[in-house]
Structure formats: structure tokens, C-alpha cells
Chain A
Amino acid sequence: MYDIKALYEASSVAHATELLLAHPEAQVIAGGSDVLVQIREGRRAGMELVSIYKLDELRGVELEEDGTIRIGSLTSFSHITKDKIIKKYINVLGEAVDMVGGPQIRNIGTIGGNTCNGVTSADSASTLFAWDAIVELSGPEGLRRLPIKEFYIKAGCVDLRPGEIQTGILIPQKAYEGYAGHYTKYAMRNAMDIATLGCSVNVKLSEDKETILDARIAYGVAGPVPMRTPSAEQAVKGQPVSKETCRKFGEAVLLDINPRDSWRASKAFRCHIGEVMAERGLEKAIRRAGGGI
């Protein structure tokens, strides 16, 4: 039995907003793999919950007319990994969320929960940052969209206003077309472990595959919220595809990341693997984009 004060089941997105406004203390529960564990721990014991679990309209991946990839916020990790659109256009997201927890967690955990929890180690977040994802929110004033970078306010805190829920995550066509990416999760175990550091890289090469037209990189656990490293991105834009370029990329990361010492790993260790992960990640992304390196 969970220590829950009351549970309100939403029957539509609008109903969820109504329930949240009527019960201002209540918290949203989607798949519950964070919320229920925190209730057990006592951290969220005695809460009122608004469940959005049954809003099947928020599940699934679609390709919109203008080429935008829309991922419903309640789509589970395992469904993202198996999805044909994800596999075709942004396979690295499917690979990244396939590293979350274990199989049962990937069946219940949602991408909405993974971003609304505001957690820096969330395995989907760095890839979404690196692909310029847009977060879609629905609330009393209707729909609102914002870049994922602006959605994160501080550790554990995202820009969700009273009555709002996240309804989708959008990847615009210009953000994915021609790009190939790679995600590295560094953890102590291969399964059921939280990232010590997560790093998502993607790259767009010139037609002859000799030059880097654009490179994007984002980290989880390199700061209080997921973050891009603009210095590294700038350092390799327009540069030739080479090992030397990848090395520079890794070095430049250190200008931007600011990990902390924690019981999982020291700051020095995180900086070290951060550099290596960037360098190797770029090499792998380049190979996937058809570059010879």
C-alpha cells in the first residue's frame, strides 16, 4: 500500500489541467517510476496525485507534415526504441533510452517523466538537448512550446506552470536532417545504474564527408541540469574530419562543463571521462554520418 492522500485520474489533457488547478498541492504521476519510488522512500509520502497514465492520446511517435518528429510525453522508453520513425531519423535517442534501468523500467518509464523530473542524469535528456528538442506544454492558457534548454530551470525544477502538463517533445526537421549521432552512458554497471556521466554527440558532414558542417554535444551530470558545450561545438565547426579535430573537440569541452564531486565519482574523474567521451563520441558520430576516420 502506498502512502497516497488521494488519487485523481485524468480522462483528458484538459481534465488533467482542471484537476491540477482544483488540487494545487497535487503532483502529476505518469508512469510512476520516480514518483512511486519517492513515495516509498518517504520523500513524497502523503501526496495527492493526478494520474495522467491513462491518457493514451499522449503515447506514440508521429511524423508531422512539416517533418517534425513528435514524441508523445507518455511514450515509454521501450516503445521509443522500437519505433520506426525514431529508428530512421534519430536512432541515437532510441539507443540512449535503451540504456535506462532495465527492461521492466523501460516498459513503464516515460520520456515526459524523464524530462519533467528535472534530473541531470536522465538518459534521454542529453540527447534531446543535443538535437534541439522543443518541449510542448498544455495548461489553462492553452499550448506553449519552448526549447528544452529553457525548460530546465535548476536541478529538479522545470518550467511547469500551475495546471500545466507536458504533452509532447518535438524534434524539428532542420534539427535532425543530415545528422548522425552517438550516445555514451558511463556507469559502474551495464544495467540498472544511473549515469556517472552521459554524453550525446551528433554531427552533420559536408557532401564529400571531409568537413564538419555542424556538431552538437550535450551532457548529463556535467552540471546541475543537462547542458550543451558551445565551446566544443564552435571549435570544430568548419574543420576537416580528422582525429586531430576530434581531440580538439574533447579538449574544448573542459571550458564549459562543471561537474561536481559526488559519492559516484569525483569532479576530476568526470572531467577526464567527459573529454574522452566527447572525442570518441564525435569519432563514432562521424563514422555513422559516413565519414572516414
Chain B
Amino acid sequence: MEGKQYQLVTCTINGKETQTMVDVRASLTDMLRNDYRMTSVKKGCEVGECGACTVLIDGEAYNSCIYLAVWAEGKRITTVEGLLGPNGELSDIQQAFIDEAAVQCGFCTPGFLMTALEILDSGIEYSDEELRKLLSGHLCRCTGYENIFRAVKKTMLQRLGRI
């Protein structure tokens, strides 16, 4: 058997600089869940189809299941754990998901929240059609998507001072 290959990976996770030895065969999902206990990052399909594992890397949404953990070196990573306020307050988009009943079993929710964050942080007012397209990299087997769409749209309009 060949020796295992490890690498030291230094990155910023939810604003905190961290460092750990990582097996080069690990996906970013593996690293976030196993080494950092970021269990909001879900393992759904593990082949880039469902979006349950979505995290932000330097502000862009990626499927962490098809991203090698060692590539995270020097990157800024955001997961749902990073959305909470100092006293555990929910962020606007999380609250909107609750208010709009956009969560049922919740498995897809953390991934959707991360994609929503990239959309919201762009500061762009998207049309309904554009929003649907931007949310299309996620599967939800419970809600039928309408409430998720509404939650994202409402938060977008709120942030832009439109409602």
C-alpha cells in the first residue's frame, strides 16, 4: 500500500483563520464536516447535481463536494454557521426562509442559503426569471421551490430598500 498523502491547509472559515492537515483525497465537504464539524454542509449526491453541499468560496457559491479540500488553501469560506449573529440571531435571509415557510425537512436549506447569499451580496435587483435561473443549481424534494423563491426575492427587495 502506498503511503497516504497529507497537506497542511490554512484558510479562513466564517471569519476565523484555521489550519489543519488534510488528506489530499478529501473533498471540501469532507474537510468542513469532519475536521471543523460544519454539519450545515450536507452530503446529498456528492457529484455536483443537488447543491446541498454549497458553500461560498471568496464570495462565490461552489458545490463543496466537487472541490478538493487542499484547494481551499488561502481561501475565505462561508457556511451557514457563519450567518448567525453574536447572540445566535438569525440573518435576514434565514428569517425570510422561516417566514415564507421555505423550510420543510431542511436538508436543502443550508445550500440554498449560501446561493441566496451570493445573489444578495451582488446588490443587483434581478428579475423573477433571473432569480429562478440563479437558484436552479439546487434540488428540493419538499417545498416545490415557490416559497424558497419568495424568501430570496423578499430579502433582495428588502436589502435594496424596495419594500
Contact = CB atoms under 8 A, between A and B. Distances in A.
Interface of A: 1-7, 9, 29, 32-33, 36-37, 40-41, 51, 53-54, 78, 101-105, 107-108, 190-192
B2 A103 contact: no
B109 interface: no
A54 B71 contact: yes
B63 A7 contact: no
B61 to A, nearest CB: 5
A51 B70 CA distance: 10
Interface string B125-163: 000000001111110000000000000000000000000
B38 interface: no
Interface in B56-115: 60-63, 66-68, 70-71, 73, 115
A103 B25 contact: no
Given A9-B70, A192-B49, A108 B62 contact: yes
Given A102-B138, A191-B136, 4 more contacts: A2-B25, A7-B5, A103-B136, A104-B61
B51 A104 contact: yes
B48 A1 contact: no
Given A6-B5, A104-B115, A104-B137, A40 B46 contact: yes
A2 B27 contact: yes
Contacts of B138: 102
Nearest to B111: A104
Contacts of B118: 103
A104 B62 contact: yes
A104 B25 CA distance: 21
Given A37-B48, A102-B137, A1 B66 contact: no
Interface band, chain B: 20 to 34
Contacts of A78: 60
Give the interface centre of B66, B134, B136, B137 by most chain A CB atoms within 10 Å: B66
25 contacts: A1-B25, A2-B26, A2-B68, A3-B25, A5-B2, A6-B5, A7-B68, A32-B66, A36-B27, A36-B47, A40-B47, A53-B68, A53-B71, A54-B73, A78-B60, A102-B136, A102-B138, A103-B61, A104-B137, A105-B63, A105-B137, A108-B67, A190-B133, A190-B136, A191-B137
A4 B70 CA distance: 13
A153 B153 CA distance: 47
A33 B51 CA distance: 13
Nearest to B114: A104
Nearest to A36: B66
A101 B47 contact: no
A78 B26 CA distance: 25
Given A37-B47, A104-B61, A32 B68 contact: yes
Given A54-B71, A102-B51, A103-B61, A37 B66 contact: yes
B66 to A, nearest CB: 5
Contacts of A102: 51, 136-138
Nearest to A191: B136
Nearest to B61: A104
A114 to B, nearest CB: 14
Nearest to A79: B60
A7 B24 contact: yes
Contacts of B115: 103-104
B2 A107 contact: no
B48 A6 contact: no
Contact of A33 (B5, B66, B71): B66
B63 A1 contact: no
